[in-house]
Chain A
Amino acid sequence: MKQEDERGFLSDRFDDWSGEPIPNGWNGIERKLRSETIRRRLALAVLPLILLVSFSVSYFKNPFEPKVEKASIAKNEVVQQGLQSGNAFISKGAAADKIQMNQGENPASDNSKVASIQNENQEIRQRQNLLQNSATPKPELAVLDTDLANAVAIQESENLITESENQPLLAGSVDPTTTLPSNSSIEELAYLNPKEASFSTFIFETQAIPQLSEKPVSSIPSKAKPGFLRSISIQTGYAVSSVELNSAMSEKWKYSMSDPSFTQAGFASIGVRLEQPIKRQFSCFYGLEIGTFIRSSTLTAVSKLPESYEISSMGDGRFSVSPQMEGGKEVRTSLMAFSRAELGVRAAITRHSGILASVQGWGRLGSKSTTTNNQGAAFVKSSSSIAPGFRIGTWWQSGPFSQVEFTYSGFSEKLTDSTPGISFRTGLLGLSFRQSF
């Protein structure tokens, strides 16, 4: 006797041996099953939301984007301050020249220039404030608004300077940024000393001062531009399905296709896309779509021949089978809600058209299948809710902000409810309209 002969020698003893499960054992299983189902459905429902959030986050995390905002603000401040101070200090041509230069040179593109101008303007503002504060009690200035007061006060100070130095007042002849030493006190500088200021000879010259025009920030060329192009698309299309009946189905049901081409399918979806130019002709994109897919097939179902039957001749070579086989036409319809995320590349072949290709991740959000034959084979839900896919196609620029795409996409049939013995292979021919914003 060999050891192998002892294999399973106690099997019979344990065949009927069983334990007594705890009475509420099923409740625990049911709870876990339901919670997993809920979790799965929740995950599928939340997936598009997560993708959408990640889209937004990735967009706002674009390294160029915040810099543009900041640069714009800085630029705006500099231009505003410059204009204000420049208009006030128009007699000090150097400052105005600098502001003009910076307008022309796009201050936002050079942080050091922006900083130096900001510093200069800061100094100018400080002096303006000092003058304004000292001038405020004067009755002549009480009726003037702040800006005008600045202008007048400064102008009066200039008069003092010109009077004290016996020099004629010439616009642009004095640059306060060069004449004011950083360590000088106000008392040392006669023209800034409010005690020395006199407003008796008020000359209102502000109208004669040429105003610097403010350029809109958007018109100032910037090296930093947003990198992403956002677009929204509506897509619809026809699905081409090939159907195959295999032996597993014919064993149970004698299925046949009444019309092999009588399988109709279609889909519709809506989506968003972010596109990042890589080179002049290439760009990569990633997008998210949600949509529905429907497929309807007409089959002829005939029940399996019973084990015992009679065939009787009816003459003229005709026979009748008893009992008669049940059967009839059956329309099987599957509806699926899906989401798909894609990552792809787009290439321009001509100026207004090109090709695109992408890989996709499909997620089944929900499905419903119906049949007109209650005795027909059951639909089988796939345990997998996620499957890969692809899309290839062409695009055409139909307008400055609009595109049309004609694409072919494929996905795994595992996502849809299946029928044992029937295989579908589906491809989606889609036409989409895309609008950039």
Chain B
Amino acid sequence: MKPEILQKILKGCIEEDARQQRALYESFAKPMLGICLRYAADRMEAEDVLQLGFIKVFKSISTFQGGSFEGWMKRIFIRESINQYHHRRRRPLDFVEDNSAAIFNHSDGFIEAISNLSTQEILKMLARISEGSRIVFTLFAIEGYTHAEIGEMLGISVGTSKSQYSRARQLLKQQLKNHLYETGR
């Protein structure tokens, strides 16, 4: 989107202009739903989070300080997804505190193997692992947050975040093996 068009839309949204709000929704609904789907339990929940996230965006748009607007929105939707998860479970994410070093062999071909999969296949595999590990893996490997940032977002220690990532990695690696066996690659 051209910066001047985005600027016009933002100005309209600040003034609570319904047409500009709709324009913003139509411009960003798809990528934001993509984010929601990574965290939500199902599509229905993702749609709910999308709705809540946009309402939050419209309410707090006047606080946008500049920089990447999409990045700012993305953060709102990720936080909303995590909030929704907490709300659904009625309790914080159930992470087992584990400060043991997340040691694994980084030269095990995991990155290469998973990179060869399609996006849909990756999401399918992620859906099969525990939610705590999935969320940490998504935040770290897909969104690019540091363990410190993840720890802050989820209210866990850096060590726990690392070990959860390690656990997710192991589970995905196992699934990769099965997948390769099934597909005969």
Contacts and interface: CB of A to CB of B under 8 A. Distances in A.
A30 B47 contact: no
A14 B143 CA distance: 9
Interface stretch (B86-94, B106-114, B127-135, B176-184): B106-114
A7 B140 contact: yes
Nearest to B140: A7
Interface string A13-41: 11001111110011011101100110000
Contacts of A37: 16
A142 interface: no
Nearest to B34: A18
Interface in B156-185: 162, 165-166
A10 B146 CA distance: 14
A229 to B, nearest CB: 43
A378 interface: yes
B59 A383 contact: yes
A43 interface: no
Given A3-B106, A21-B47, A33 B58 contact: yes
Interface residues of B, number: 48
Nearest to A8: B144
Contacts of B122: 10, 13
B107 A19 contact: no
A1 B11 CA distance: 46
Contact of B47 (A10, A18, A25): A25
B55 A32 contact: yes
Contacts of B106: 1-3, 5-6
Interface residues on A, range: 20 to 34
B142 A11 contact: yes
Given A5-B106, A381-B14, A21 B50 contact: yes
A7 B146 contact: yes
B46 A29 contact: no
Contacts of A18: 30-31, 33-34
A378 B15 contact: yes
A278 to B, nearest CB: 43
Contact of B119 (A6, A17, A29, A383): A17
Given A2-B106, A10-B122, A21 B15 contact: no
B4 to A, nearest CB: 13
B11 A378 contact: yes
B141 interface: yes
Contacts of B50: 21, 25
A401 interface: no
B34 A11 contact: no
Contact of B15 (A28, A32, A381): A381
A20 B33 CA distance: 7
A20 B25 CA distance: 12
Contacts of B85: none
B60 A383 contact: yes
Interface in A127-145: none
Interface in A379-411: 379-383
B102 to A, nearest CB: 6
Given A20-B30, A25-B50, A30 B18 contact: yes
A141 to B, nearest CB: 85
Nearest to A26: B25
Most chain A beta-carbon neighbours within 10 Å: one of B15, B36, B47, B51 = B51
Contact of B114 (A1, A10, A36): A10
A17 B30 CA distance: 9
B24 to A, nearest CB: 10
B37 interface: yes
B160 to A, nearest CB: 14
B100 interface: no
B146 A19 contact: no
A437 interface: no
Contacts of B22: 26, 30
Interface in B30-47: 30-31, 33-34, 36-38, 43, 46-47
7 contacts: A7-B141, A8-B140, A25-B25, A26-B22, A26-B26, A382-B62, A383-B60
- 5 pairs of A and B residues whose beta carbons are closest in the complex: A8-B144, A19-B33, A18-B30, A1-B106, A18-B34
